[in-house]
Structure 1
Amino acid sequence: MKKVFWVFVISISFHNGFSQTIEEKIATLACDCLNKKVEITEEIYTNCLGSSMADAVLNDKDPKVRESINTVEGIKSLLEKSDAVLSKSCGKITTKAVISKPSPFYTNSKNELAQNSYIIAKDFMRDQKYVLAIEAFQMALKKDPKFVLALDDIAMCYRQLKDYDNAIKYYKKSLEIYPEGDFALVNIGVVYSLKTDYKTAITYYEKLIKFDPNNAEGFFGAGKNYLALNEDEKALDNIFKAHRIYTVEKSDYIKDTEQIIGAIYQKLKSEKKENLFKKVAEQNDIKIE
Structure 2
Amino acid sequence: MKKTLLPIFILISFLSNAQSIEEKIAKKACECEEQKTKIGEEAYRSCIADIVKEAIATEEDPKTREEVNTVEGLMALLPKVKSLLPEICDKVKGQKSDEKRKLFYSDSKIESAQNAYIIAKDFMSKNQYKPAIENFLTAIKNDEKFVLAYDDLAVCYRQLEKYNDAIKYYKKSLEIYPEGDFALMNIAVVYSLKSDFKTAIQYYEKLIQFYPENAEGYFGAGKNYLLMKNYEKALNNIFTAHRIYTEENSKYAKDSEVVIGAIYQKLQEENKEDLFKKIAKEHNIQLN
Q: State the TM-score, normalizing by the size of structure 2.
A: 0.65
Q: Distance in 1 between matches of 2:111 and 2:286?
A: 55
How far did 1:100 drift?
6.7
Secondary structure class of the residue paired with 2:127 = coil
How far did 1:250 drift?
1.2
How far did 1:113 drift?
1.0
Q: Partner of 1:252 in structure 2?
A: 251
Give runs of aligned pairs for residues 130-141 of structure 1, distance below 5 A. 130-141=129-140
1:180 aligns with 2:202: no
Secondary structure class of the residue paired with 2:286 = strand
Amino acid at match of 2:241: A
Q: Distance in 1 between matches of 2:258 and 2:217?
A: 18
Q: Distance in 1 between matches of 2:276 and 2:188?
A: 26
CA deviations on 1:42-92 (whole Å, 9 max, x unpaired) are xxxxxxxxxxxxxxxxxxxxxxxxxxxxxxxxxxxxxxxxxxxxxxxxxxx
1:199 aligns with 2:198: yes
Give runs of aligned pairs for residues 40-189 of structure 1, distance below 5 A. 101=99, 102-189=101-188
CA deviations on 1:225-279 (whole Å, 9 max, x unpaired) are 1011010111111111111111111111111111110011111112111111011
Cα distance change on mapping 1:220 and 1:98 into 2, 3 Å: farther
Q: Partner of 1:237 in structure 2?
A: 236
5+ residue gaps, structure 1, are: 1-95
Secondary structure class of the residue paired with 2:250 = coil
Number of matched pairs: 194
CA deviations on 1:133-181 (whole Å, 9 max, x unpaired) are 0001011111101100000000000000000000000000000000000
Q: Distance in 1 between matches of 2:158 and 2:183?
A: 12
Moved over 3 A (4+): 96-102
Q: Distance in 2 between matches of 1:109 and 1:124?
A: 18
Amino acid at match of 1:154: L
Q: Partner of 2:61 in structure 1?
A: none
How far did 1:97 drift?
8.3
RMSD (Å) for aligned C-alpha atoms: 1.7
When Rg is computed on C-alpha atoms for both structures, the one with the higher figure is: 2
Secondary structure class of the residue paired with 1:239 = helix
More relative contact order, 1 or 2 (CA 8 Å, 6+ apart): 1
Q: Partner of 1:210 in structure 2?
A: 209
Q: Distance in 2 between matches of 1:131 and 1:166?
A: 13
Q: Which structure's residues are more often helix, by fraction?
A: 2
CA deviations on 1:8-32 (whole Å, 9 max, x unpaired) are xxxxxxxxxxxxxxxxxxxxxxxxx
How far did 1:99 drift?
11
Q: Distance in 2 between matches of 1:259 and 1:271?
A: 19
Give runs of aligned pairs for residues 272-283 of structure 1, distance below 5 A. 272-283=271-282
